[in-house]
Amino acid sequence: MGLPRVTGAALVERYFLEPYRFIAPFRSTFWVRLSRGMILRNLRKKQSIVRFACTGREHFRASLDAKAGILVTPNHSRWPDPMVVGTILSQQFDEYPYYVASYHLFRKSKFTRWMLNRLGGYSIYREGADREAIRATSQLLADGERPVVLFPEGTWFRQNDRVGPLQEGLSLITRQAARLSDRPVVIHPVAVKYWLLEDIAEPILARLTSIERQIGWNPQSSLDVVERIAKLGGALLALKELEFLGQAQPGDLDARINALTLSQVERLERHHMGRAFDGWALERIRRLRQHLTRLLLEKASDADTTRAIKRDLGDLLFCENLSAQSLAYVRERPSQERLSETIQRIEESLTDAAEKPVGRMGVTMRFGPAIDVRTFRPPESADRKGGDALVAHLRQTMQALLDQQLADGPPPEWGCPLIGSPRPPRSNDPVDGQPEG
């Protein structure tokens, strides 16, 4: 279980003192077609993603043949997911989708902004009701020109085998599109699942050793790898408990994670909004973030106040990341994939740097049957506490697709080593992955 932002500066600046300006879709496919090989090379060289497979193609093909407005909704566990989805859509269907992308990604540099836009990305302001993004997405779906990819979790959930809570804005977008056009408007649930193509037992143990040494520990090599992760996660969590609560807390690690997350969300709610709210932690975090980003713009001329608001926004990012961590998730299935992603999250926590691949990976993508938006009636105001039935159905379907991927396993021809937890090294094993001298 990673503990975000124990040290390190922010990987990407996420909040700005300048007003948001919508970045509209770039309608030509010239640049994305030209960049197809470059994107594939980037996935292979930088992310070690070298194999691709797709199932459920007939569902997506039927929607293309019907000239439907198509919203593709994949789960989001790794930051290269948009490139992976785009690569598979271009390889399998010669389709080049639009992507709804968080505004802060366009602020990294002028070149990044230009390139993301030419590759199909357009902005959405996650911290508010972005009417321009909603209107643009609805119109793209109504026109049916190209599929639109939207990650409904709204951010990385960081657990590849689980779907996080979905944001309900997609329901508004698709229903608005259905009103604008007589064509079918559908949502295609998609499961994206990563598989390791090689035995990474030794790299996992070497990277655990490296992390332990970073925090001043001797390598805990006598422990099983899952217990090693549990001990390391508990130590990092205790540091944040000391910071926020004054002392490390007893009990089960997942219960401590939940308690720390909720305590900090409630603290910030009471400080900035006058009371605590009910609901899922991520829902409350999003509400707070919207409030604080509006306040940040209002107080842009006050340096001390903006510094304090940015600090609180940083604490909210910590809470968002922490809420996606779970030792139970690792214990449930200590596969190479779950172990490696957990270690990557710990490394991200310590450095706030982009994840470093542990080994070569393949990715499978499964399409589910199209969900016709018009078959779900909008929730009445009296129903809203129960949530939107369309969003609930979408999440259940995405999770079922992921579960099926897990049950089926990777394509047999990939030869993936379907092994579990790496063994602890023997006393005469080399450490840090170095050969014996």
What's the pTM value of the predicted model, to 2 decimals? 0.88
Asked if residue 190 is part of any domain, the answer here is yes
The pLDDT confidence band at residue 335, using thresholds 50, 70 and 90, is: very high
Q: What is the mean pLDDT of residues 364-382?
A: 86
pLDDT for 7 equals 41
Q: 368 with 270, same domain? A: no
**Residue 228: CB partners within 8 Å, gap ≥ 6?**
208, 212, 220
Of 433 and 64, which is predicted with more confidence? 64
The pLDDT confidence band at residue 429, using thresholds 50, 70 and 90, is: very low
Looking at every residue in the chain, the average pLDDT score rounds to 88
The pLDDT confidence band at residue 104, using thresholds 50, 70 and 90, is: confident
Written as one letter, the residue type at 182 is: D
- Listed residue (196, 153, 127, 156) closest to 4, CA to CA: 156
**Residue 398: CB partners within 8 Å, gap ≥ 6?**
73, 75, 152, 163, 189, 190, 191, 368
pLDDT for 427 equals 37
Q: 312 with 393, same domain? A: no
Q: 205 with 344, same domain? A: yes
pLDDT for 430 equals 35
Q: 205 with 260, same domain? A: yes
Tally of domains within the chain? 2
Q: DSSP E strands: which ranges in 44-140? A: 49-55, 69-74, 98-102, 121-124
Residue 211 above 50 pLDDT?
A: yes
- The structure tokens listed for 433 are 């992955």
Percent pLDDT > 70 in the chain is: 89
Tell me how far apart the alpha carbons of residues 205 and 225 are, in angstroms, rounded to a whole number: 7
Q: What is the mean pLDDT of residues 135-139?
A: 97
Percent pLDDT > 90 in the chain is: 71
Of 107 and 403, which is predicted with more confidence? 403
pLDDT for 435 equals 32
CATH number, position 106: 3.40.1130.10
Q: 216 with 312, same domain? A: yes
- pLDDT, tens only, 15-38: 666 778 899 999 999 999 999 999
Asked if residue 8 is part of any domain, the answer here is no
- pLDDT, tens only, 52-70: 999 999 999 999 999 999 9
Q: Range of 266's domain?
A: 201-351
Q: What is the mean pLDDT of residues 111-126?
A: 94
pLDDT for 258 equals 94
Q: What is the mean pLDDT of residues 273-295?
A: 90
Residue 270 above 50 pLDDT?
A: yes
Asked if residue 435 is part of any domain, the answer here is no
Q: 346 with 400, same domain? A: no
The vertex-359 CA angle with 353 and 362, nearest 5°, equals: 105
Asked if residue 427 is part of any domain, the answer here is no
Asked if residue 129 is part of any domain, the answer here is yes
The pLDDT confidence band at residue 346, using thresholds 50, 70 and 90, is: confident
Q: 182 with 210, same domain? A: no
Q: 320 with 362, same domain? A: no
pLDDT for 420 equals 52
- Listed residue (90, 103, 106, 179) closest to 141, CA to CA: 179
Asked if residue 419 is part of any domain, the answer here is no
Q: 129 with 150, same domain? A: yes
- pLDDT, tens only, 150-181: 999 988 788 999 999 898 889 999 999 999 99
Tell me how far apart the alpha carbons of residues 290 and 284 are, in angstroms, rounded to a whole number: 10
pLDDT for 266 equals 97
Q: 47 with 102, same domain? A: yes
Residue 4 above 60 pLDDT?
A: no
pLDDT for 213 equals 95
Residue 98 above 80 pLDDT?
A: yes
pLDDT for 126 equals 78
Q: 38 with 187, same domain? A: yes
pLDDT for 322 equals 86
pLDDT for 386 equals 59
Sign of CA dihedral 299, 300, 303, 307: positive
Of 417 and 87, which is predicted with more confidence? 87
Q: Which residues pair with 366 in a beta bridge?
A: 55, 191
Tell me how far apart the alpha carbons of residues 175 and 186 are, in angstroms, rounded to a whole number: 10
Residue 431 above 60 pLDDT?
A: no
Q: Are the CB atoms for 154 and 167 separated by under 8 Å?
A: yes
Calculate the CA 136 to chain-centre distance.
Answer: 23
Least confident segment among 244-253, 295-304, 347-356, 420-429: 420-429
Q: 300 with 375, same domain? A: no
Residue 406 above 50 pLDDT?
A: yes
